[in-house]
Structure 1
Amino acid sequence: MAKVIAVSIQKGGDGKTTFACNLAMAAVKAGYRTALIDLDSQGNAGVTLSGNGGMHRIKEGGAQQIYEEDVPKFTETESGVFILHGHSWLEEIDYRENVDVETLALREKVRTLPFDYVIIDTPPSSGPRQMAALLWSDLVIVPVKAQKFSMIGLSKVLEQIKLAKRRNHGLAYRVVINQFVTSSSEQNQISEELREQLPGVVMKVFKSRVPVSDMLARGLPVWEYKKDKALAQEWYGFCTEVLHLI
């Protein structure tokens, strides 16, 4: 039975794909057979892991297979992660007849895929594909910036998680404050308020660091950054901790 982790936030730019890709690559590094399903029509996770800048413009081999194929054909990447990539045609799923019923029926299919871990990157807005990831998963990681507009996205995804738990009773979630700027009084205040409002849920605070995005652009995990061993250990340690939560 695969362990399924979704990465979700209803706002772009808060690090959703960064965490999804690093979690998947950490699972591979730890020796687990790992897949990533990219349900985001922008397809950034698939582009990152495949190294193919045009992957998001290809429908064949994409994440729609979860809905359309009895045995989805995953693409193996150089990172060792098997992917069903994202692309713009995924938006057609949102308009399928009885998509909510179909999504629930697919939960067992996703959880019995031949992998130890399945990581799901989600769209940055509410809809059937985001809810699908929440219904299929054991755990949701919610990356969020300590900023006003990100708090709106956080509140929306927490509402979606609450709805999903009506059907997926064991669903757990953790919040990660990302790209934190220590010199910002606003971000310090918001971070403190989050910890008070969500005791035991805020798992980690990651400071804003350029190497994180630079490594992702190269399709590499943060721990491959050799110039800062502390940063590398921080990210790999976090990803390992997440994997062991389920």
Structure 2
Amino acid sequence: MNIITVINQKGGVGKTTLVFNLAMSAVEQGKSVLVIDLDTQGNASQILTGDIGINRIFVNGSDDLFLPEFAGINPTRTEHGVDLIHGHKGIDRIDNVKEVEELAYSGALRARIRQLPYDVVIVDTPPAIGVRHMAPLYWSDRVLIPLEPELSSVAGLQDVLAALELARPLNPGLRWMAVLNRVKKAAKSHREVSDAVRAMYGDSVVSELTDRTAVADSRQQEKPQPVWKYRGSDRKLRTLWQDFCVQIVC
């Protein structure tokens, strides 16, 4: 099993788009895929199901994974070939609950997640720090940190790296990667911040994804598509996204 958590403490950095495209890449590689949506907004769940009201369905959600009385999962099978444990507006009920926190940061919950019958599990996290933000760091093999080339987003990266160190005693093999996302190459400030991030973190910055309308449009279709299958994407953009996603989920 390969568990990938997509995380940043700053919202609006493109986590959900990355989650969707990573999941589609894994399906294309013949892998069984589960997406765990831990965000109350449930954006990844809406994209995968086409149901904008799924974040108001309070049963069989991702909060069930954290309950001491866990009795197994009942995922939604989506038309994309991806199984989903959806996010909803009520999952914050597990925040600041002592029993949940004790389980969340334990080897027991890590074992529970890692016994799920999937080749690839992709976790979408909320931007706010808390149990749903921290706990996946104890389960994961890889953490992908998207950031826009802005100082506030870089600060979010540094906060995530500090959180990773807290998880390492239980999960010493955890690896992290950063991706610069929504980069405007014509913007001097974006170029400067991108160069600074690469200078600080070197090979841990695995790709640079440009700010292109086709990326947003690809997931706004009646049936959302990965960037490399969307007709509005040019060849260079398709290759960039496809190669990047294969690199992360392989």
TM-score range, shorter chain: over 0.9
The residue aligned with 1:76 is 77
- Hey, what's the Cα distance between the residues in 2 that align with 1:230 and 1:183? 17
Residues 1:234 and 2:229 aligned together: no
Asked if 1 retains the 8 angstrom alpha-carbon contact of 2:183 and 2:211, the reply is yes
State which of 88, 93, 112 in structure 1 corresponds to 2:115.
Answer: 112
The C-alpha deviation readout for 1:61-94, integer Å capped at 9, x for no partner, is 2111212332111100011110001111111111
Unaligned runs of at least 5 residues, structure 2? none
Distance in structure 2 (CA, Å) of the matches to 1:217 and 1:70: 35
State the partner residue of 1:102: 103
1:21 aligns with 2:20: yes
Which range moves more in the overlay, 31-40 or 56-65? 56-65
TM-score normalised by the chain length of structure 2: 0.94
* Whole-angstrom CA distance in 2 between matches of 1:145 and 1:56: 26
- Identity among equivalent positions (%) equals 38
TM-score of the pair, normalised by structure 1: 0.95
Say whether the 8 Å CA contact 1:226–1:232 is kept in structure 2: no
Deviations 1:137-182 (A, max 9, x none): 0000000000122122112111111211222111000000000011
Counterpart contact for 2:148–2:180, Cα < 8 Å = yes
Gaps of 5+ in 1: none
Runs of 4+ more than 6 Å apart: none
Amino acid at match of 1:76: R
Preserved contact between residue 66 and residue 100 of structure 2 (Cα < 8 Å): no
State the Cα RMSD in Å.
1.2
Q: Helix, strand or coil for the counterpart of 1:149? A: helix
Shifted more, 48-57 versus 96-105: the winner is 96-105
Give the CA deviation at 1:101. 2.2
Q: How many residues align?
A: 243
Q: Name whichever of 154-163 and 169-178 sits farther off.
A: 154-163
Moved more, 11-20 or 62-71: 62-71
The equivalent residue for 1:62 is 61
